[in-house]
Amino acid sequence: MKVSTLQPQVAEPVNDLIAASERGLTDQVHALARARAFAEPLIAEETLDSGENTLDHADAVASILRSVGGSEAMQAASYLVHACVHLNRPHEVIAKAFGENFAALAVETTQLMRVQRLSRGAQSSAHLVDDPAVQTENVRKMLLAFSRDLRVVMLRLASRLQTLRWCAASRTEVSEQLARESLQVFAPLANRLGIWQIKWEMEDLSFRFLEPATYKQVAKLLDEKRIEREAGIEHLRASLQSELRAQGINATVQGRPKHIYSIVKKMRGKSLDFDRVFDVRALRVVVPTVPECYAVLGWVHERFIPVPDEFDDYIAKPKGNGYQSLHTVVRTRQEGSAGLPIEIQIRTQAMHDHAEHGVAAHWAYKEAGAKGYAGVSASGAYDAKIAVLRQLLAWERDLSGELRPQGLSEDGRVDLLTDRIYVLTPDAAVVELPAGATPVDFAYSLHTSLGHRCRGARVDGVMVPLNTPLQNGQTVEITAAKEGGPSRDWLNADLGYLASHRARAKARAWFNAAAVHTTVARGREAVEKLLQREGKTAIRLEDLASQLGFKSADALFEVVGKEEFSLRTIETLLRPAAPAPSQNDAPLLRKSRGTDKGGVLVVGIDSLMTQMAKCCKPAPGDRIVGFVTRGKGVSIHRADCSNLREMAARNGERVIEVEWGAESRGGGSVYPVDVAVEAADRQGLLRDISEVFTKERMNVTGVQTQSVKGTAWMTFTVEIADSARLARVLGIVAEVPGVRSARRR
C-alpha cells in the first residue's frame, strides 16, 4: 500500500490534536505521515506472528480505521503501536515526539495485545476460571475496562480484521484460539460498537477458519456471490424506497444482506434447512408513525407474494424486552415461478432507536442465551455502560470538541468503567474484581482456602505488599502456606488489605470459626476432666449431651467453654439418687427424743424411730402427719399425701400427731423433694432450668426428662431446707422461656 493513499486529512483535526496544538505542539497536524516515517525504519523488515509484514499490516489497519471514521490520531497509532517494542522507554519517547495522547494510546494498545496473547494461550490449555461462556464475557469486559481510551478497542478491532483478511488472502492457517477469539470476543465487540462492516466480515472470516467445510457448503448453496447479492439488495432497496415515497410514505429503506455465519447460526439455532432461511436477503423500512407501518405492510403484501405463517406483529404484541417491529417474509414476483424470499422489517424511528440502542439492541437479544443462538448473556449494569461505547464514532468525528459525548471525561476517556478491574491468573484466565482490589482479594476470589493461606504475591513477576491495589491487565501469582489462616490485620479497613466485601466476610468467618473451635476445645477439656474425677470415662459424650438437652457434644462443650453452663449440673446427673424403697422399706431411720437430732417431734412418744416418706418427701414448713409402721418406726408424710389418706382409711388408729422440731427449722439439715416441670421442648431448656437451681444454691441430685410431641416433662430432685423457699424458686423456674408449669410433686 502506498503512503500517498494515507495522507492526513488536515480538514479533520481530532480532539487530541487540538489539545496538542494548545500546548504548543503545532507540528502534530501531520502526525499520520510522521508516525509512519518514525516507525518505518523499525518495522519495515519485521513480520508479525501470522507471517504478515508489520509495515504492510500497519498500512492496512490505518486504511480500515479511516473507512469506519477513525481519526488521524487512531491511524497514526497503528504505526506507533508496533514501534513500541523497539523502544527502551516507549511512553517517554513517543510522548516527546508526538504528545502524551499518542503515547498513551500506543502503549495501552501494546499492553492489550500482550494480555490477549496470554489469554489465547490460557484458552488453549483449557485453564478457565469459569465455564467458557462466562470466561468469554469476562474477556469482553476486560478489553473495555482495560482500554479506558476507547480508541484502543478500535485499533485492536481493525488489526484483528486485517490479520484475518491477510490469512484468508495468503491461504495461511489461523490457530483455532485466534479464530475463536475473533468470533466470540472481537466480532460481538464490533457489534456492540455498531461497526457492522467489521462485525460481519470478521464473523465470516473466523467461521471460514473454524469450520471450512461448513463454510464452503453454505457458500455453494447461495445462488449468488456476496457482491451480486449485495448489489441485488441495493437495487431492491432503492426501488422499494422510491415506490413508497411515490405513494406518499416518507420511508427510509435499509438493506440487510445476510452473511454466511449468520445464515449458519439461524439454521442451527432454529433447526432450519437452507431453503427455510427466509432472511438471507432482508430489508428494513423505517417510517415516522405507527399507522404508516401498517400502510407499508399492506403495500408490501400487494407488491410481493407473502409467505404463509411468516408474519409477526411485534407492534401490537411487543417482545418481553420491549422490542417492537413488524416482520414479514415475501417473495418477488417472477414470471412462471415464485421469486427469491426476502425478509422485511417495518418500524418507526423510535422503535428503531430502541432496538438499536435500548434493551432490545441487536447485540443484546442475539447474543443473550435464552432466545439467542449461542451467545453470552450480559448483566444489566454492564449493558448500561456499553451504551457509552455506542458514541465512539461520533466522539472521534466530533473534531471541534463542541459536543463531547456524555460519560466521557475531558481527555476523552470513559468514566463509567471504573468500578471493576480485570486481572489475569498465571495461566492467563481473566478474574473480575472490584476496583481497588488487592492480591488478597484476588486469592479469595479463586478459592476461600487460598485466600486464608495467602502469604505473598507477585504482580507481573514482581513481589508486592499484600495491600497493593491491583490494576487492569496485571498478572497476579499468589504464594500460599500449606496451612494456616488469615491475619487479623486484613480486617482493619485502614490498612487496605481487603476491598471486596465477599473476601472480608470469608476472613471474618474464619476467625469466628476459630474462636468457636477454641471455646469447644476448652469446654471438652473441662467435661473430660470432670468425667475422670467422677470415674465415668466410659460414658459416651454424645449421650451425656443428649441427657442434658443438647443436640451434640460440641454444643455442650461450647456453653461449658463460655462458662454458661455449670459443671455442677453434670455432677448431679452423674450421681443419681438412690432407688426409692417400697412403702415398708426403711433405708433411713431417724431417732427423735423430744428435741433430738431427728428433727421431728412425735407427740406423747419418746425415742421413736422416724423416717421421711419417699412418696411425698416432706420438708420443713410442710404440715406433716405420722404413720406407725410395723417394726420400722414412724413414717412421716405430708398432710396432703394421697398414700397417707389410703393408709389412714384402712388403719386410722396408727395415725399419730407429729411436728417439726427446732433442729429441722434451723439446724442446717436438707431434705430431698421432687419438682415436676412441663415445658415446650427446645434446645438448651434443661440448661436454663438447671441454671436457676444453681443460682439459688439448690443442689440437684437427680434429673429425669422425657419429650413427647414437642412437650418436655422433667422431674428434678433437689435438696431444700425450707418448703417456702422452694415455692419462691419454682416461681422463678416458671418464668424460664417455654416453661408452662413448675410444681412440687
pLDDT at residue number 518 = 87
Backbone torsions φ then ψ of 12, nearest 5 degrees = -120, 60
Instruction: Give the DSSP per-residue string, 603-660.
Output: TT--SEEEEE-TTT---TTS-EEEEE-SSS-EEEEETT-HHHHHHHHH-GGGEE-EEE
**Most confident listed range (65-79, 112-126, 385-399):** 65-79
Share of the chain above pLDDT 90, in %: 16
Q: Which helix (H) or strand (E) holds 338?
A: strand 337-348
Out of 181-185, 249-253, 378-382, 537-541, which region has the weakest mean confidence (pLDDT)? Answer: 378-382
How far apart are alpha carbons 663 and 600 in whole angstroms? 8
Query: Is the backbone of residue 532 left (phi > 0), alpha (psi -120 to 50) or beta?
Result: alpha
Give the residue-averaged pLDDT of 388-408: 38
Domains of the chain: which residue ranges? 3-193, 226-357, 436-499, 510-574, 590-666, 671-744
Look up the CATH architecture of domain 226-357: 2-Layer Sandwich (3.30)
Instruction: Say whether domain 436-499 belongs to CATH 3.10.20.30.
Output: yes
Q: b or e along 555-567 (b: 16 or more beta carbons within 10 Å of the residue's beta carbon)?
A: bbbbbbbeeebbe
- Contact call for residues 86 and 40 (beta carbons, < 8 A): no
Q: What 3-state class would DSSP assign to 76? A: helix
DSSP state of 484: -
Predicted confidence at residue 87, as pLDDT, reads: 86
* Cα-based distances in Å from 358 to 144, 251, 269, 384: 19, 22, 24, 9
**Which CATH number does the domain 3-193 belong to among 1.10.3720.10, 2.40.160.20, 1.10.3210.10, 3.40.50.80?**
1.10.3210.10
Instruction: Give backbone dihedrals phi and psi of 643, rounded to 5 degrees, phi first.
Output: -65, -40
209: left (phi over 0), alpha (psi -120 to 50) or beta: alpha
Summarised one tens digit per residue, pLDDT across range 431-473 is: 888 889 999 999 999 999 999 999 999 998 899 999 999 987 7
pLDDT, one tens digit per residue, over 516-527 is 888 888 889 888
pLDDT for res 593: 39
Segment of 82-96, 359-373, 424-438 carrying the highest mean pLDDT: 82-96
What's the pLDDT at 97?
84
Give the cell for residue 264.
Answer: 449458519
Query: What's the chain's average pLDDT?
Result: 75
Distance from C-alpha of 145 to C-alpha of 396, rounded to nearest angstrom = 19
More confident residue, 211 or 380: 211
**Secondary structure (3-state) at 270:** coil
Confidence of residue 605 (pLDDT cuts 50, 70, 90): low
pLDDT-derived band at 145 (thresholds 50, 70, 90) equals low
In CATH terms, the superfamily for domain 671-744 is ACT domain (3.30.70.260)
Separation CA 225–CA 143 (nearest Å): 35
HSE, side-chain direction, 13 A CA sphere, residue 100: 9
Q: Can you tell me the distance from the alpha carbon of 573 to that of 675, in angstroms, rounded to the nearest whole number? A: 15
For the residues of 145-181, what is the DSSP string, one character each?
HH--STHHHHHHHHHHHHHHHHHHHHT----HHHHHH
Helices 439-446 and 501-534 cross at an angle (nearest 10°) of 70
Check if 226-357 and 671-744 are the same fold. no
Q: Distance between CA 627 and CA 648 in Å, rounded?
A: 8
Tens digit of pLDDT for each residue in 322-333? 678 999 988 887
Which strand (E) or helix (H) includes residue 729?
helix 723-734
Closest CA to 83 of 111, 112, 54, 56: 54
The string of DSSP letters for 203-240 reads: HHHHHHHH-HHHHHHHHHHSSS-HHHHHHHHHHHHHHH
Alpha-carbon dihedral 297, 299, 300, 302, rounded to 10 degrees: 120
Edge to edge, the sheet with strand 305-313 lists 252-255, 282-287, 337-348, 326-334, 305-313
